[in-house]
Amino acid sequence: MTIERFAGPILVIVAHPDDIEAHCAGTVARLIERGEQVRYVLVTSGNRGTDDRTITAEAIAVRREAEQLAAARIAGVEEVRFLGYDDSDLLFHAPRLREDLTAIIREERPRTIITHDPYPGNGSLDSCAIYPDHTTLGLMTFQAAYLCSPGPLFYPEQLQNGLDPHRVEMLYLIMSDRPDTFVEIESVWNTRMDALRQHKSQGRDRPEMETFFQRITSELGAKSGYQFAEGFRRLAPS
C-alpha cells in the first residue's frame, strides 16, 4: 500500500503520550514529508504513567506533555492538543469524551483519522492493545466520526456555535491484531526512533528499544514486502 491512500488533512487521536511514537510515527513522518497537514490530539497526558512514588500526577503529566511535544517536533508536527482526561479513566467518561471528540472533528475537519482499534483482538499477543483507555478511545472516536460528527441532531449546540457537521472518509486503526494496511518506514526509521526516544519517563530511550521495535516493524514488514513497516486496520466510517 502506498502512503498516498492517507488523505489529508489527518488527525491522530490517541490516549497517551508515546502511543503515536510506538505505533505510527513513521507513517506520520512520511505524511509530513509529502506535505500533508497532520495534527495530534492526546486525550490524556499520561498523568499516572510512572512507578515513582515520589512524583505527583501533575508533575508526571507536565513531563510527559513536554516529551510528546518534543517527539512531535521531530516528526514534523506542529499542532498538538491535550484534552486533560485522567490516565486509565476514559471508560468512566465515555459520553463526555464522545462529545468532545465530535467537536474536535467538526472543528478540524479531517479526511483521515488515525486512532486505536476498538476491537483489536483478545490481547493474547499484546495486552497493551486491550488496555481500557485504548479500546474506549477507539470506540468513542469511531462513534464520533461515524454517528455524531456528520449528524446535525447530535450536539446541536455545537452547530449553533459554528461547528458544522463533517464526515470523515477513513479511519486507520493502530494496535490491531489483524492489520490490512502497511506503510513502509525504512526511509524514516531514524526519525521514528528519535521521536520515540523522547519518552524518557517511559524508558523508551533504553538501548534495547531499538531491537524491540525493529522486531515488531520487521514482522509487519514481512507481511507486506518491506523491511520495516507500520500496520493499520482500515475502517470506513460511512
With a CB cutoff of 8 Å and minimum separation 6, the contacts of 169 are: 7, 111, 112, 236, 237, 238
> Please, are residues 15 and 44 in contact by the beta-carbon 8 Å criterion?
yes
Model pLDDT, residue 1: 55
CB 196 within 8 A of CB 22: yes
Q: What is the pLDDT of residue 66?
A: 98
CA angle 14, 20, 26 (to 5 degrees): 145
Closest CA to 129 of 6, 14, 1: 14
Element (H, E) at 164: none
Does residue 42 contact residue 68 with C-beta atoms inside 8 Å? yes
**What's the pLDDT score for residue 129?**
85
Give the Cα separation of 46 and 213 in Å (integer): 21
d(CA 171, CA 209): 28
Which domains, and CATH codes, for the chain?
A: 3-235 (3.40.50.10320)
Block residue for cell numbers 446541536? 156
Phi and psi at 8, nearest 5°, equal -90, 160
- Give the C-alpha separation, 8 to 13, whole Å: 15
Start-end of H helices in 120-207:
132-143, 156-160, 189-196
Please report the pLDDT score of residue 128 as a whole number: 86
The confidence score (pLDDT) of residue 185 equals 97
pLDDT in tens, the chain (238 residues): 568 789 999 999 999 999 999 999 999 999 999 999 999 999 999 999 999 999 999 999 999 999 999 999 999 999 999 999 999 999 999 999 999 999 999 999 999 999 999 999 887 677 888 999 999 999 999 999 999 999 999 999 999 999 999 999 999 999 998 999 999 999 999 999 999 999 999 999 999 999 999 999 999 999 999 999 999 999 988 7
Q: Going by C-beta distance under 8 Å and a sequence separation of 6 or more, which residues neighbour residue 217?
A: 26, 185, 228, 229, 230
Residues 6+ apart with CB under 8 A from 14: 20, 40, 41, 42, 43, 115, 116, 137, 174
- What's the number of CA atoms in the CB half-sphere (13 Å) around residue 133? 20
